[in-house]
Amino acid sequence: MPYLDHAATAPVLPEVVDAVATALRETGNASSQHTAGRAARRRVEESRERIAGTLGAQPSEVVMTSGGTESDNLAVTGFFRARQAADPRRRRILVPAIEHHAVLDTVEHLAAREGAEIGWLEVDDFGRVHADTLAAAIAEDPQTVAVVSVMWANNEVGTVNPIRELAAVAHAAGVPLHTDAVQAVGQLPLDFAACGADALSLSAHKFGGPTGVGALLLRRDAVVEPLLFGGGQERGVRSGTLNVAGVVGLAVAAESAVGDLSSQSARLTGLRDELIAGVQAQVPDAALSGDPGQSLVDGGPSRLPGNAHLRFPGCEGDSLLMLLDAHGIECSTGSACTAGVSRPSHVLIGMGVPEDDARGALRFSLGSSSTAQDVEAVLAVIGPVVERARKAGQAAAARRARVAAAAERP
């Protein structure tokens, strides 16, 4: 069965399974002082060193978390609260409206409960934040900016942001920058020291590691307020008993993914481009969302190598998804479903895509297990699937029109 949803979660690498299984056979709390505890601590610290070496960080900058959502929450909330405590004027959070909800929901919570003001950063038609856009937003009132958060690569459309340039702009105004790099690790060249970000979020299950474990790379001089309190683990920033086996799996996955980055990136780019060209040959009006991927950003691709995000006019994404699933092809839509009501992707809407076009979006995301046969399987059925989905879309549009007409009646 072709699995083209690596951006949601990637298959666990065999070497990770072996490493985690071995670690699970060992007993010991990494905070305990006895022999078993010290052995567990050693496994954690060795893994921390491997993660740091792989991602261009210092071991002391690797803060273990439960994954990308916690890392995003910790960075954004932690910076905001720390900066507010030091200077109450620091109330503005600058963020694009197309971030992952782990960031968006956090800033909206801070605005509703803690007096934060959200400054929405404009994006271009590809979904990219430009340095001059950030500079202008900061310049509106530099003394009030608490933190900037811009994702390294968008999880839906795959566009890569110029994090090094954005960090330089933020630092020139004395403002910390956080980047959600959950989609970037294992797909793009990534060096924490060189990128300039003050904090960087990552999650193991996006690049072949286990679920439920991740990290926040946090510069030693960065000051954040913790969200969790208790044992004071992880520099006092993230209390809680460490998931030793998960941390081991994270380290192995990161080394494997980054070590094979060059060849894997080239392979995935080829498959991605073949998929996009093949789909558009059969469905000429299918539109690619995001950066075309023909240029460089911060020394790497301008689009995630494994991301193909396409919009099919006249279709509902959910219909496309289920029709492909019936053919054994697993991918995802560009929309979120809340309380059973399908809604257009906030990312596409934030990029200026009309709502009707945004409804017919599909994201094919390739990774370590993807093959040419997977692409061929999609191309073998995409034409009839779109034709059938369009018929369903016409019926859905007619229903919406009837409901709207009924609502307007006195």
Positive or negative CA dihedral for 23, 25, 30, 33?
Answer: negative
Neighbouring-strand partners of residue 123: none
Kindly give the pairing relationship between strand 145-149 and strand 62-65: unpaired
Q: Are the C-beta atoms of residues 37 and 28 closer than 8 Å to each other?
A: yes
Query: Known catalytic residue: 337?
Result: yes
Phi-psi category of residue 94: left, alpha or beta, with phi > 0 → left and psi -120 to 50 → alpha: beta
How many DSSP H helices and E strands does the chain contain?
Answer: 13, 15
C-alpha 325/C-alpha 364 separation (Å) is 13
Contacts with 55 (C-beta within 8 Å, 6 or more apart), sequence order: 185, 190, 191, 192, 200, 202, 217, 254, 258
Question: In terms of Cα–Cα distance, which of 8, 353, 354 is closest to 155?
Answer: 8
The single-letter DSSP state of residue 221 is T
The single-letter DSSP state of residue 292 is -
Catalytic residue among 195, 315, 331, 337: 337
Residue numbers annotated as active site: 337
